[in-house]
A and B are shown apart, each in its own frame.
Chain A
């Protein structure tokens, strides 16, 4: 149901800056549209995204209706130690999605 894609290198050198790209499948309904009967379509968006590296939050973002459907968020972090990166998306109508990726740091 909640499909997400995360792209980052599986291995990195200690101290290297790694690029992380994330996508979540979501319509990001703005709440400004109307049906053909003129009724407003209620807002349904992802409002928050967080990335934790071994339990420590390293990046987060607040999203608004002006973020396109299937929101792409790309950012970077320093590879400090081997472990897990956990990604979490939350939004309207109880939307929640999570994904984790392990990384090996030499």
Chain B
């Protein structure tokens, strides 16, 4: 049964979230791209990032953005002199670009990590590997998300 009070509370909530939605700046796409660029620069310190040596594995079509299996594998002998120091994963469309940063070393034996991510919207997922010689390598995958993370949960 919907009482008047319950209706008002729900309507108020809907209005409030609509207002929150409206507060998103109109140039949100450019802002998120800039945030991703800043996040990458923070990791690389402005060094060049080359494509290759990294294999990012994400399903290209995602039904549910709330749990997206992803794994990153980097070609590296993983010796004391030549190994992967860190693997960084970013997304383009989330409110924040960061997903996970994994710190590895020669004791990992093999440079491969897996996790599950939340992906808010159709866009690019980016993985960057930081090598012990100071070089950076990357791989990116374009994904299509049908049920978005974050947004669908807005009214719980």
Binding site for B on A (CB under 8 A): 17, 30, 32-38, 53, 56, 58-69, 71-78, 80
- How many A-B residue pairs have C-beta atoms within 8 angstroms? Tell me: 116
Name the A residues within 8 Å of B109 (CB-CB): 17, 76-78
Write out the residue numbers on chain A whose beta carbons fall within 8 Å of the beta carbon of B107: 53, 56, 58, 77-78, 80
Interface of B is mostly: mixed
Check A34–B155 contact: CB distance below 8 A.
Answer: yes
A59 to B113, CA, bound (A): 10
Given contacts A30-B118, A35-B13, A36-B13, contact A75 B102 (CB under 8 A): yes
Of the stretches B25-33, B48-56, B90-98, B131-139, the one at the interface is B90-98
Q: Which residues of B contact A (CB under 8 A)?
A: 9-10, 12-13, 15-17, 19-20, 66-68, 71, 91, 94-96, 98-105, 107-110, 112-119, 150, 153-156
Contact of A37 among B13, B96, B98 (CB under 8 A): B13
Q: Are B117 and A66 in contact (CB under 8 A)?
A: yes
Q: 19 A-B Cβ contacts within 8 A?
A: A34-B154, A37-B13, A38-B13, A38-B15, A58-B105, A58-B108, A60-B103, A64-B96, A65-B96, A65-B118, A66-B99, A67-B100, A67-B116, A68-B66, A68-B115, A69-B67, A74-B114, A75-B104, A75-B114
Cβ–Cβ contact B150 & A69, under 8 A: no
Question: Apart from A34-B16, A67-B100, A67-B115, what 11 extra A-B contacts exist at CB < 8 Å?
Answer: A33-B154, A34-B154, A34-B155, A61-B101, A61-B113, A62-B101, A62-B103, A66-B99, A69-B66, A73-B102, A78-B107
Asked if B98 and A77 sit within 8 Å, CB to CB, the answer is: no
Q: Is the CB of A62 within 8 A of B116?
A: no
Let me know if A66 and B96 touch, CB within 8 A. yes
